[in-house]
Amino acid sequence: MILNVLDTLQEWIEPFRDFIFRHHDNPFFWVAIILIALALFFLGYSALHKDNQI
């Protein structure tokens, strides 16, 4: 059971890992990653601080 879960996770992660290895030297890739991370942070922060509107 646990080995099946680990095998499934490995199958899902491998294409993503290969994509990152192919594009790790592309500056637009890293800018996109940073922008996505900032957007997620902003969405989470604003959702947690709805009561404290300025």
| Structural contact between residues 29 and 23, judged by C-beta atoms closer than 8 angstroms | yes
Please report which residue ranges of 1-54 form alpha helices under DSSP H. 2-23, 27-48
Confidence of residue 6 (pLDDT cuts 50, 70, 90): confident
pTM for this prediction = 0.64
Give CA–CA dist 7/5, Å, rounded: 5
Per-residue confidence (pLDDT) for residue 50, from 0 to 100: 82
Per-residue confidence (pLDDT) for residue 28, from 0 to 100: 96
- Model confidence over 13-29: pLDDT tens digits? 999 999 999 999 999 99
- Model confidence over 33-48: pLDDT tens digits? 999 999 999 999 998 8
Give CA–CA dist 51/54, Å, rounded: 9
Mention every residue, 6+ apart, whose C-beta is less than 8 A from residue 9: none
